[in-house]
Structure 1
Amino acid sequence: MTRLVARAEPGNPGLFVNPDWQPGTPGAFAVVIGVSDYPYLRDGSGWHPGDETFGLGQLYVSAATATAFFEWFSDKYDFQGTPPARCWLLLSPTAEERAASAAAVGSAPATLENCELALQAWYAAMESNGAATADSRGYFFFSGHGLEVSLDAQILLPSDYLRGPGRAVNNAISTDNLLKGLASSPVPQHYLFADACRNDVASLRQYVVQGRPILNVRAAGAANPDVLTGILYAAASGTIAWQPFKLSDGLSLFGRALIDGLRGLAGVELQGCNAGRCEVRFNPLQTYLKNRVTQLLADFGSPEKARIRQGGSPPDVGVTVVVDSRSPFESLTGPAPVGQVLAARYDVTEVGLSWTPADGEVSAHRIFGSEHMSEIWMRHVHASDLRTGASALVVVREVHRSDNTQAYRVVLELPPAPDGHWLCLDDPGRGGRRFAVALPDDSMTAPLYELTMDFEFDDSGIRWISAVEARLALSNRSRLGELARMWSRYELANAADAAHELDTSGLLQMVFDKVKSPLAATVAATLLFRARRYDLLPVSWLANLTTWFMWNTDAAVLWAAHPDYRREVDPDRLPLLELKLPYLAEVLQMAWRLLSDLGPDDDPPWRLQAQVHRAMSVHRPGGLFAVYSGPAQDLGSDLVRPRRQR
């Protein structure tokens, strides 16, 4: 049953309304955007050879995917007396998509101007719905090209992106602006879905990429304390969001999995059931998407990982309600868990190793199974002590790889170092492109670290590294091993599940055992923070972790970001915290966001603006520890090392 019909209104491009919904009553408001046809990107109608497009070209099923989401919202969406009220549908389809779907009739082209008008009208409609705003909700869906800035700062590209003469790189929708603009919305619950690439484009780093400030952002004091906005991103950091090259092969993988999940298909955990009506909630939906998209990628034969990223502060209530007519057996079936699918990528395992480059090329080739990989680990992997700058010996303990040598998981060990190590990996297949990471030490034991590496081939057959992530190895003993498993749970399922296991398993004790393992305590605190379990994370504990371990900028950032933060420490007691970067990837991004949001009266216990902004220009989000990527000459240890040691 189609509940939304097109209505032509000035200033409301692509508006659809529900004739049965009455203004002043609760409702659901949505903006749905799908862009396949990009005239000013490669092979577009307005593109000219030689135009810089940052490697971006045409898409094939994004408009069809957005149409399918619109049809779900119009026909199937249901939640506790909030029917679809209004929806703005903006589509820029291919000719094939246009011919295949009549649902696009009434939509408007997804140009930047129309996107701005629709998003502003969406916000205004929610804001002007009287007392019913408190019981209403907002939805946003985008399918098309995207570029990553950081975890919660992606830009989504309208159909006329890079239109001349200016070809402005910031003429795009900013997810950061959406999250900040919605923070003051009178509507308390919002769900955002970004079915877009998170490409890492080296040539864009010369620009400050932020997107357009489409929604007004009010001061923190004007924010609605009841607003919770969750966003799901489709792609792993630095990778593409997969979709078929022809419409007959279906929708984008993320869009297909999302719509299946919102319909309550097998494999989705349903909660809050009452008389056969159950809620599809945000965190279980994220887990389902990770499982389903990973399985779809495997079916396509792709070596890519599906890391469906969560951003914002998601509501812990249903995204939609479905009628559960499944049998108990059907309720338990569905896509294989993402951990099993990813583990299946590693066909060959070598454990119990103590390999170093001194062992020679023959042993390297036997272990790594590839001359290219052997060359990297023999000649292009280097570690140095972050305090002294002295070279450090890298010992490889385990190697797990795919049979086609396109996916690797390498476990390594480094000697003790109070400030940790700077590990560099140079890719000879990319002419000097470097991946680098600062790896912290711990008080009681030398951690085992894990690097995951993915390889691709370009059109000329040159093999190159497409992704590197760094985390604690699962083979660590005691607290660090347990935390590695919890972090894996966070990456493969969701933050709430990881925090729940952290609490119920008794691992919360590590939060209080700071002296025994400050690294474990800091990782545990990050998991609890991402799950918004502030009840298990007292601000006083973060203040102690900050002041007891002066190297721990990560704890200082978590402390300053805590909702109960109050500046209580003399800045003279924190000399080192003004001089170095966080180790953890998500905390680095948190620092960047906090610094970007600083007002004249804000005073966090660290001052790292220049260093953080420089690091974010080369940062590759993903994994536990912050990985940086760029030309080798730009990635020395001075990027992260305290200034007193430079």
Structure 2
Amino acid sequence: MALIIDNRNSIPGPGVHALIVGVSDYKNLRDFNDTPVEPQWFLTTLTSGASSAFAISQLLLRDKCRLPLKTLRLLLSPHAEELTKTPAIGASGASPATRAALEAMALDWRTDAEKEKDSITVFYFAGHGLQRGPEDGVGLLEDFRPDNGPPLAKSFEVGDIKNGMAPSDTRPNIAMTQFYFMDACLTRPETQKKFVGVQVPEVFGAELSSIEYRSAPLMFSTVGGAIALGREGQPSHFAEALTLAFDRAAEDPIDDGAGNTVWPVTSLTVKNYLDYYYAKLNLGTQVTLNGIVGTPVLRNLTDPPSVDMSIEVQPDALGNGYNLWLLDGNDAPTPPCTPAALKKVEVTIPAGIYRVKVDAGLLRVSPYRSPPKWVTQKVAGPWRHNLQPLLNG
């Protein structure tokens, strides 16, 4: 049942193969409302892991990638609170996110991915996680149990998943563009350190790879040693930001070779947008980008992406009697903005060429018109205009 979308026969050629996993209801951990205890590594159930993964699955179902979605495998273990807030999770057809289910689905996912070099794979995990090395993030699955048997027997290493997806003599045609997202904490519980040589079972038996030329960025939702940013009963901040990044995180426009102008969304612009989102909400962390990165294109926007722009006008001596406009490339106000006593304005606008116009009686020459500026996500920081030298007297 975890194969939610199967377009392998209806869509010829390359496409997107996605494996999405979200865990909130850990069967062997205390509820999130209860006091965490040392034998369970002070971990409890979650209320955003399954919601986050479900949100990303819905994003992919809207064909947001540059290739059509061919397969979508979905493993979810939702908390009751998530099912109450988002009943669609329960009707999604997903299988529980157990270790056995992940093994079976990952093998099938890889089998589909190895048929077309030009395909794209997407792996996303949301749930409890641990850090063991720079790329060795460990995801804990529904049946994780640290107090009975090998503590990490029901978990996986994202590095193992990634290594098992490398091209090899057996799989020379595996998808060469691969995206990995780990929406999990990168902490190392003190209780884990009392175990000697804790092992995480392999999902894949990684073969000796041929020359490595994948574009395979691995994005962690936080930095090493930090806690992921869940939201009770809702998708995490990482999932929310990633959803927005699909529509906003774009490079400057290019010609797609067929005479069309497109705005590529790449691994780097996604990372930059996620950091911008975190900073805007003062979340106190950043995204970590590892892996064989390059700048693989996740999707191509056919329209200018939306950009969050901050405009600041100084000095305070301008007083209350002035108006401010943001003009587009046709000199039209966009959006209409004529506030009084406004020193800073936050707007969301399509990428493009803009200039600022300020009408103030204290200016020697009014209105002031700024030079034009090309505004994209890469230059969307505060646009400051110091008009002190232009004041009368």
**What is the TM-score when the length of structure 2 is the normalising length?**
0.70
Of 195, 200, 204, the match for 1:211: 200
Letter in 1 for 2:125: F
User: Structure 1 residue 172 and structure 2 residue 155: aligned?
Assistant: yes
Letter in 1 for 2:151: A
- CA distance in 2: counterparts of 1:179 and 1:188, whole angstroms: 12
- CA distance in 1: counterparts of 2:310 and 2:165, whole angstroms: 34
CA contact (8 A) 2:24 2:47 kept: yes
Q: Deviations over 1:79-114 (max 9, x none)?
A: 1xx311111100011112223232542100001111
Q: Deviations over 1:522-551 (max 9, x none)?
A: xxxxxxxxxxxxxxxxxxxxxxxxxxxxxx
1:35-74, aligned counterparts within 5 Å?
A: 35-43=23-31, 52-74=39-61
Tell me by how many angstroms 1:312 deviates. Answer: 0.8
- CA distance in 1: counterparts of 2:146 and 2:35, whole angstroms: 11
CA contact (8 A) 1:31 1:87 kept: yes
**Residues 169 and 19 of structure 1: CA distance in aligned 2, closer, same or farther (over 3 Å):** closer
| Unpaired stretches in structure 1, ≥5 consecutive residues | 1-7, 9-13, 336-492, 495-646
Tell me by how many angstroms 1:217 deviates. Answer: 0.8
| Unpaired stretches in structure 2, ≥5 consecutive residues | 312-376, 379-393
1:268-279, aligned counterparts within 5 Å?
A: 268-272=250-254, 274=256, 275-279=260-264
CA contact (8 A) 1:78 1:322 kept: no
Q: 2:239 is matched with which residue?
A: 255
CA contact (8 A) 2:253 2:261 kept: no
1:357-368, aligned counterparts within 5 Å?
A: none
Q: 1:15 is matched with which residue?
A: 3
Q: 1:408 is matched with which residue?
A: none
Of Structure 1 and Structure 2, which has the larger fraction of its residues in strand? 2
Tell me by how many angstroms 1:332 deviates. Answer: 5.9
Letter in 2 for 1:35: V
- CA distance in 2: counterparts of 1:50 and 1:309, whole angstroms: 29
- CA distance in 1: counterparts of 2:153 and 2:193, whole angstroms: 13
Q: 2:301 is matched with which residue?
A: 322
User: Structure 1 residue 28 and structure 2 residue 12: aligned?
Assistant: no
1:166-565, aligned counterparts within 5 Å?
A: 166=149, 168-184=151-167, 186-207=174-195, 208-219=197-208, 222-223=209-210, 225-245=212-232, 247=233, 250-264=234-248, 268-272=250-254, 274=256, 275-296=260-281, 298=282, 305-326=284-305, 330-331=306-307, 333=309
Of 84, 96, 101, the match for 2:87: 101
CA contact (8 A) 2:121 2:177 kept: yes
- CA distance in 2: counterparts of 1:159 and 1:271, whole angstroms: 43
- CA distance in 2: counterparts of 1:210 and 1:175, whole angstroms: 14
User: Structure 1 residue 91 and structure 2 residue 76: aligned?
Assistant: yes
User: Structure 1 residue 122 and structure 2 residue 109: aligned?
Assistant: yes
Tell me by how many angstroms 1:16 deviates. Answer: 1.7
**Residues 48 and 233 of structure 1: CA distance in aligned 2, closer, same or farther (over 3 Å):** closer
1:551-630, aligned counterparts within 5 Å?
A: none
Q: Deviations over 1:565-593 (max 9, x none)?
A: xxxxxxxxxxxxxxxxxxxxxxxxxxxxx
- CA distance in 2: counterparts of 1:20 and 1:205, whole angstroms: 45
CA RMSD of aligned residues (A): 2.9
- CA distance in 1: counterparts of 2:252 and 2:83, whole angstroms: 35
CA contact (8 A) 1:76 1:263 kept: no
Q: Quick one: percent identity of the two aligned structures?
A: 23
Tell me by how many angstroms 1:124 deviates. Answer: 1.4
Letter in 2 for 1:320: R
Of Structure 1 and Structure 2, which has the larger fraction of its residues in helix? 1
Secondary structure, counterpart of 1:70 in structure 2: helix
**What is the TM-score when the length of structure 1 is the normalising length?**
0.44
**Residues 24 and 226 of structure 1: CA distance in aligned 2, closer, same or farther (over 3 Å):** farther
**Residues 23 and 289 of structure 1: CA distance in aligned 2, closer, same or farther (over 3 Å):** same
Secondary structure, counterpart of 1:211 in structure 2: coil
